[in-house]
Amino acid sequence: MKMNELQNAPWVMAKRAQKMNPSVIREILKVTEKPGIISFAGGLPSPKTFPISEFSAACEKVLRESGDAALQYAASEGFVTLREMVAAALPWPVDPAQVLITTGSQQGLDLVAKVLIDEGSRVLVETPTYLGALQAFTPMEPEVVSVASDAEGVDLDDLTAKAAGARFLYVLPNFQNPTGRTMTEERRAALSSRAAELGLPIVEDNPYGDLWFDTPPPLPLSARNPEGCVYLGSFSKVLAPGLRLGFIVAPKSLYPKLLQAKQAADLHSPGFNQRMVAEVIKDGFLERHVPTIRALYKSQCDAMLAAMQQHMPEGVHWNTPAGGMFVWVRLPEGLNAIELLPKAVDKGVAFVPGAAFYADGADPRTLRLSFVTASVDQIKTGIAALAAAIREHAARG
């Protein structure tokens, strides 16, 4: 036996590994992590919104009063008190037994994929859709099909044409990532009825729903047909992402298999983190805290929209989000957001090209801007720089 045989065992990768590729966004974020770059790229909540002193007090209390339990192995379902709080806060009747605490809502997508997707299963998504969902579904090797979508949500005729045999429709109705758009009440009512007629289950992702500016978004799809929907929620945007806590609300027919998948995936989400969050939110903290996040993000969104109005050349279009973290921009005909990016970085500003968010048929003219990480002053400077980059890109081709 030669030495190189000892040192080179022939790893054979699973077929699915070939389909697993780096997140375009994470790669872009690395490129744009130069000092001084104003980033509209990441979807990072503003650290100003992290309630650090409340976390600190909660850590001390949890470790003092229930340290042994907080640090021990725990139930895969999650900390019962937190599950009760989640159920009580949702705008439809939810039994805490339907709530499964997850390691961020990204894990909710992983568990849904494991339980519902076979190789080749048809999965319907919006156009465009959340990239992290595509990444979570990919290892289970679905056939992902984009459903045409407009500013109000998915197109029901296209949905109907594509629904046959689909395992589920994945939607993010509130302040969508990446477009910032919100599905209207009328569209929700129609979609809920149509999906039920079609026998099409819905996976509803709602990480941003609490971050509305002036009025709350319409009732979730899950509230309209709880047995036909899996609902995913998150503490990342209302408390902090670094705790990695989210949740699934599942119909009783699905819950046991999601629970098994959860147990096999990481046994349970950190009990210490769950107890910390329960301690922080137990006395209505979110009702006082979340309005401060809304006000901050609204002011930053307003600043971005005003700066765009002031600086953007003719032919650039964007929407007006009613909440969340993102504005969706479309460049004039002939321009390409991927080609624009290095020019924008040269001018000190970063964004994510919209092409990253399409399951198929990407619109190369689109791009996503986040208004939550940069300050108002940075937003003004950054939008002016981006507008200048677009002008140059248009002039030089």
Q: Pick the closer one to its own copies by CB: 241 or 332.
A: 241
Q: Which of residues 265-324 bind its own copies (CB under 8 A)?
A: 265-273
Interface with its own copies (CB under 8 A), residue total 99
Q: Which of residues 341-370 bind its own copies (CB under 8 A)?
A: none
Return d(Cα 46, Cα 24) in angstroms, integer: 22
Q: Which stretch binds its own copies (CB under 8 A): 91-99, 178-186, 257-265, 344-352?
A: 257-265
Q: Pick the closer one to its own copies by CB: 39 or 182.
A: 39
Instruction: Find the shortest distance in angstroms from Cβ 320 to its own copies.
Output: 26
Q: Pick the closer one to its own copies by CB: 257 or 343.
A: 257
Instruction: Find the shortest distance in angstroms from Cβ 334 to its own copies.
Output: 34
Instruction: Find the shortest distance in angstroms from Cβ 168 to its own copies.
Output: 8
Instruction: Choose, by CB under 8 A, the member of 99, 140, 171, 305 that binds its own copies.
Output: 140
Q: Pick the closer one to its own copies by CB: 220 or 393.
A: 220
| Per-residue tokens: 373 | 């990480």
SS3 letters across the chain: CCHHHHHCCCCCCCHHHHHCCCCHHHHHHHHCCCCCCEECCCCCCCHHHCCHHHHHHHHHHHHHHHHHHHHCCCCCCCCHHHHHHHHHHCCCCCCHHHEEEECHHHHHHHHHHHHHCCCCCEEEEECCCCHHHHHHHHHHCCEEEEECEECCEECHHHHHHHCCCEEEEEECCCCCCCCCCCCCHHHHHHHHHHHHHHCCCEEEECCCCCCECCCCCCCCHHHHCHHHEEEEEECCCCCCHHHCCEEEECCCCCHHHHHHHHHHHHCCCCHHHHHHHHHHHCCCHHHHHHHHHHHHHHHHHHHHHHHHHHHCCCCCEECCCCECCEEEEECCCCCCHHHHHHHHHHCCEECEEHHHHCCCCCCCCEEEEECCCCCHHHHHHHHHHHHHHHHHHHHHC
If one asks whether residue 157 binds its own copies (CB under 8 A), the answer comes out as no
Q: Pick the closer one to its own copies by CB: 206 or 222.
A: 222
Q: Pick the closer one to its own copies by CB: 5 or 314.
A: 5
Instruction: Find the shortest distance in angstroms from Cβ 154 to its own copies.
Output: 16
Q: Which of residues 193-252 bind its own copies (CB under 8 A)?
A: 193, 195-197, 199-202, 225-229, 236, 240-244, 251
Instruction: Find the shortest distance in angstroms from Cβ 192 to its own copies.
Output: 8
What is the per-residue binding string for its own copies in 12-41, x denoting contact by CB under 8 A? xxxxxx--xxxx--x---------------
Q: Which of residues 70-129 bind its own copies (CB under 8 A)?
A: 70-74, 76, 102-104, 106-107, 110, 114-119, 121
Long-range contacts of 47-54 (CB under 8 A, 24+ apart): 48/296, 49/289, 49/292, 49/293, 49/296, 50/239, 50/240, 51/239, 51/240, 51/280, 51/285, 51/289, 54/280, 54/285
Return d(Cα 385, Cα 318) in angstroms, integer: 17
Q: Which of residues 166-195 bind its own copies (CB under 8 A)?
A: 167, 192-193, 195
Instruction: Find the shortest distance in angstroms from Cβ 10 to its own copies.
Output: 5
Instruction: Find the shortest distance in angstroms from Cβ 388 to its own copies.
Output: 29
Q: Pick the closer one to its own copies by CB: 237 or 365.
A: 237
Instruction: Find the shortest distance in angstroms from Cβ 76 to its own copies.
Output: 7
Write the CA distances from 235 to 132, 177, 244, 257, integer angstroms.
17, 16, 8, 23
Crossing angle for the helix pair 376-396 and 337-346, nearest 10 degrees?
120
Instruction: Find the shortest distance in angstroms from Cβ 82 to its own copies.
Output: 14
Instruction: Find the shortest distance in angstroms from Cβ 310 to its own copies.
Output: 30
Q: Pick the closer one to its own copies by CB: 1 or 395.
A: 1
Instruction: Find the shortest distance in angstroms from Cβ 272 to its own copies.
Output: 5
Instruction: Choose, by CB under 8 A, the member of 27, 31, 67, 309 that binds its own copies.
Output: 67
Q: Which of residues 41-60 bind its own copies (CB under 8 A)?
A: 42-45, 47, 50, 52, 55-56, 59-60
Q: Which stretch binds its own copies (CB under 8 A): 68-76, 154-162, 341-349, 378-386?
A: 68-76
